[in-house]
Structure 1
Amino acid sequence: MPVRILESTSKRAYVHLLTDGKYLPGVLVMHKSHLDTKSRYSFVVMLTPGVDQSVRAALQSRGIIVKDIEYLRPPASKHQLNDYDKRFSETWAKLRVFELVEYERVILRDIDMLLLKNMDDLFDLSIPHDHIAATHACSCNLMKFRHYPSDWVPANCPYTPLTWPSCLDRATAVTKNSPRCHHLLNGGLVLLHPSLEMARHIQNALYTSPQIRKYRFPDQDLLADVFKNKWVPLPYVYNAMKHMRIAHKDIWRDADIKCLHYVMDKPWQYRPLPPSATSGVQRETQLSTTLASCKAGGSLLEGAAMRRIQQEFDELVHHWWAAFDELELEMSGSEHWDVIEENVNRHPVSVFNAN
C-alpha cells in the first residue's frame, strides 16, 4: 500500500519528541491516526542525539518531518527523580519546541497517544502570544502512588467539579482561590507559539530556578510555573488520560474523545488478552505481574482494585492494537519493519521496563 505523505505549507504543525527507539511503535501509530483523522497540518518529530539511523529511516519512510535537536536538562545537582519516574528524565527536551520558530503555532503532543477524532480546530483557539493552552493534570492519584503529593486527592482534582456534557467544551476555571492542583497542567498536549525569547526564558528557569529540585513531573511542572496565570485550560477530550475513564467516569464517554493518552505503561509493551480469557490463568498471571510492577513503583493499590483498573485499561489498549494491526498491513513487507517489531511486545505480560 503506498504511503500517504501529508505535507503542509501552513505555519502550523503538530510536534512530538522521540529520544529512544523503544518509542518508535508509538510514534508510527500516532502518525497513522493523524492521517486517518485527516489532519490538515504537518506531523513533526524532534529527534535527540543517539537515536539510531534505522529509527530515523523508518520515520522518514512514512513522510514524517524530522527535526534534530539537542538534549535539554537541568544541572544534575538540581534535580533527581525516583527510580519509577526516571522515564521523565529526557522529557525536558520537549521544551525545545519553543525554538521551532519556522512555525507560528504548534501543538506539542506526547507519542503515547491515539487520535480518535480530528482536532485541528484547536489551532484556531484564541490565546495571547505569551500564553499556552493545555489540559489540567488529573490529581486524583488513582494508582495510589505513595510518592505523589499529599494533596493529590479527588476533592482537589480540577475534573471533579465538571459535569457532562458541558465538560466537552469547557474546563474548570483557575482563580487565585483555586486549590493548588487546579494550577497544574498536563504536558501531554500543549498549544503554543514558538519564540526564541520564550525559549531563552524557559531555559533560564531550568538552569536557575530553585523550584526545579521540587518538580515530580519535569517539563509540565516547569511549564506550570513559567506560565502561571498565563495558560488556558482545555476540555479534557483533547488529552484524555486513560485513568480518567475510571477516576472521572461521570464525564467520560468513549465516543467524545478526540485524543486518548496512554499515561504510565505504554500500549505497545503488552497486548491485552481477549475477553474470552478474562477468567483464565493467563489473566491472573497478567494481573499479578501488573500489581507487582505497581507495588515496585510505590503504589498502595490492592489486588481487587488493580483487577478492576487493569480491565478498564485493557479495553482502551485494544484500540491502540487495532491501529497497530492496520499499520502492520501497510509496513510489514518493508525494510523498516524489523526495527518496529523489536520494540513491540505481543504478549499479555509485559517484558519491557514499565518506563
Structure 2
Amino acid sequence: MTPVTPQPGGLSPSSPPAARHAFVTLVTNADYALGARALLRSIRLTRTPADIVVLYTGGVDAASLEPLTEFDCRLLETELLPLSDEFNARHARRNVHETAPFTKGRKPQFHSPLDNFCKLRLWQLVEYERCIFIDADAIVLRNIDKLFRYPEFSAAPNVYENLGDFHRLNSGVFVAEPSIETFDRMLAVLDSPGAFWPRTDQTFLQGFFPDWHGLPVTMNMLQYVWFNLPALWDWRSIGVLHYQYEKPWEADHPRTEVLRPLIELWHAYLTGENIPDLATLDNPAPAGSVPG
C-alpha cells in the first residue's frame, strides 16, 4: 500500500495524492455533503485526470461522507483554523448576519460563517502544484482543466445583479498554488487585531489578493444571473454553475419556481439519471419579455 503523505497540522488525509493538480471542495455538514455528491459526479463526468479532494470538518458524520467515496476522492479531515476567541466571537453566525445582513437572497439555516474560513486549508495541500477550489453548492458542466494554467490568485467576479459588480470577486471558484508560507501569512492577516470579514473568506481573499486575476463569469455562473441578467446566460459556454444563496436541495425555497430549470439540472447530477445534453437546454427569457 502506498503510504499516505504526511500533512501539515490540522489535516488528516484518507489516501495519498495521485496527480499534480486537484479540484478541492469543503464539506462542513450533512447538507453540503449532499451538495458535494452532485459536484463530484459532475467533475468525474468531465474525465479530468486531476485528483478530487474533499476537506471536511467535524460537523460531518461518516454516513454523510460515505456516498462521496463512489467518486474516488481523497477525504481530508480538517480542524477549524487556529484563530483567537475574539475572532471566533466576531464571526459567529449571529454576529455576521446581524452586522452584515444578506439582503439580496436568503442564506439557509445551515450556513456557518466560521466554517467558511476552512477553505484556506487548501494552501496546506503542498503535494499539489495548483488547485481549483469549487464550493459544494456548485456543479461543473464541462471540462475546465484549462484553469489549472491560470495564475494564483484567479477568481470570477461576483456578478449576479448588475454589471457594476465586476470589481468584486466570488470565492465559490478560484485557482490557487498551495504554499505553507502563504498559509502562515494568511493566518497572520486573517486574525489581526479587530479584523472583521463581513463575507468571511470572500472578503478576506479579495483583501489578501488585491490584484486578483479575473476568470470569465462563465467559470462561476451564479444562479441569480438566470433571472437578473439573462443576457449573460448561455448554456454552451458555462463551465461551473454555482447555486449561491438558496440551495437546490432545499424543499420549496423562495426562488423555487423561477429557478426550477436549474434545480432540476442539479437533481439530475445528484442521481446521475437523465442528465441532459446542455446544447438542448433553453436559455432564460430576455429581461422584460412577456411569456406567450
The interval holding the TM-score normalised by the smaller chain is 0.7 to 0.9
DSSP 3-state at the match of 1:311: coil
Task: Kindly state the Cα deviation for residue 324 of structure 1 after the two structures are TM-superposed.
Answer: 2.3
Q: Aligned partners of 1:93, 1:50: CA distance in 2, in Å? A: 12
Aligned to 2:170: 186
Q: Describe the shift of the 1:327–1:41 C-alpha distance in structure 2 as closer, same or farther (beyond 3 A).
A: farther
- On the 8 A contact 1:46/1:68 being kept in 2, the answer is yes
Pairing 1:23–2:32 present: yes
Higher-Rg structure is 1
- On the 8 A contact 2:40/2:68 being kept in 1, the answer is no
- On the 8 A contact 1:32/1:327 being kept in 2, the answer is no
Pairing 1:76–2:58 present: no
Aligned to 1:227: 209
Q: Describe the shift of the 1:217–1:88 C-alpha distance in structure 2 as closer, same or farther (beyond 3 A).
A: farther
Task: Kindly state the Cα deviation for residue 54 of structure 1 after the two structures are TM-superposed.
Answer: 2.0
Q: Aligned partners of 2:244, 2:58: CA distance in 1, in Å? A: 25
Q: Aligned partners of 1:207, 1:123: CA distance in 2, in Å? A: 29
Q: Aligned partners of 1:217, 1:100: CA distance in 2, in Å? A: 24
Task: Kindly state the Cα deviation for residue 77 of structure 1 after the two structures are TM-superposed.
Answer: 4.0
Percent identity among equivalent residues?
26
Aligned to 1:267: 248
Deviations 1:9-63 (A, max 9, x none): 3210001111112222211111111111211211110111242122333323432
Aligned to 1:118: 143
Aligned to 2:287: none
Q: Aligned partners of 2:147, 2:129: CA distance in 1, in Å? A: 14
Task: Kindly state the Cα deviation for residue 321 of structure 1 after the two structures are TM-superposed.
Answer: 1.3
Q: Aligned partners of 2:185, 2:17: CA distance in 1, in Å? A: 30
Q: Aligned partners of 2:158, 2:209: CA distance in 1, in Å? A: 15
Deviations 1:151-180 (A, max 9, x none): xxx36322xxxxxxxxxxxxxxxxxxxxxx
Give unmatched runs, 5+ long, in structure 2: 1-15, 99-105, 275-292
Task: Kindly state the Cα deviation for residue 82 of structure 1 after the two structures are TM-superposed.
Answer: 1.4
Q: Aligned partners of 1:45, 1:115: CA distance in 2, in Å? A: 15
Aligned to 1:282: none
Pairing 1:106–2:131 present: yes
After the TM superposition, which segments of 4 or more aligned residues of structure 1 sit over 3 Å from their partners? 83-86, 309-312
* Range that drifts further, 215-224 or 86-95: 86-95
Aligned to 1:350: none
Deviations 1:59-83 (A, max 9, x none): 2343221112111256234433116
Pairing 1:135–2:156 present: yes
Deviations 1:213-266 (A, max 9, x none): 2x321001000001112x101101111000112222222212221110011111
Which amino acid letter does the alignment assign opposite residue 224 of structure 1? Q
- On the 8 A contact 2:156/2:214 being kept in 1, the answer is yes
Aligned to 1:204: 188
Q: Aligned partners of 1:136, 1:61: CA distance in 2, in Å? A: 32
Which amino acid letter does the alignment assign opposite residue 191 of structure 2? Y
Q: Describe the shift of the 1:233–1:88 C-alpha distance in structure 2 as closer, same or farther (beyond 3 A).
A: farther
Give unmatched runs, 5+ long, in structure 1: 1-6, 141-153, 159-181, 271-285, 291-308, 329-355
Q: Describe the shift of the 1:31–1:77 C-alpha distance in structure 2 as closer, same or farther (beyond 3 A).
A: closer
Equivalent position to 2:68, from 59, 69, 92: 59
Q: Aligned partners of 1:11, 1:48: CA distance in 2, in Å? A: 24
- On the 8 A contact 2:41/2:71 being kept in 1, the answer is no
Q: Aligned partners of 2:163, 2:221: CA distance in 1, in Å? A: 19
Q: Describe the shift of the 1:315–1:50 C-alpha distance in structure 2 as closer, same or farther (beyond 3 A).
A: closer
Pairing 1:324–2:270 present: yes
DSSP 3-state at the match of 1:317: helix
Aligned length in residues: 243
| Greater share of residues in helix | 1
Aligned to 2:217: 236
- On the 8 A contact 2:53/2:74 being kept in 1, the answer is yes
DSSP 3-state at the match of 1:216: coil
Q: Aligned partners of 2:244, 2:202: CA distance in 1, in Å? A: 14
DSSP 3-state at the match of 2:172: strand
- On the 8 A contact 1:100/1:195 being kept in 2, the answer is yes
DSSP 3-state at the match of 1:208: coil
DSSP 3-state at the match of 1:323: helix
Task: Kindly state the Cα deviation for residue 311 of structure 1 after the two structures are TM-superposed.
Answer: 3.5
Deviations 1:316-354 (A, max 9, x none): 1110112223269xxxxxxxxxxxxxxxxxxxxxxxxxx
Q: What is the TM-score of this pair, normalised by structure 1? A: 0.63
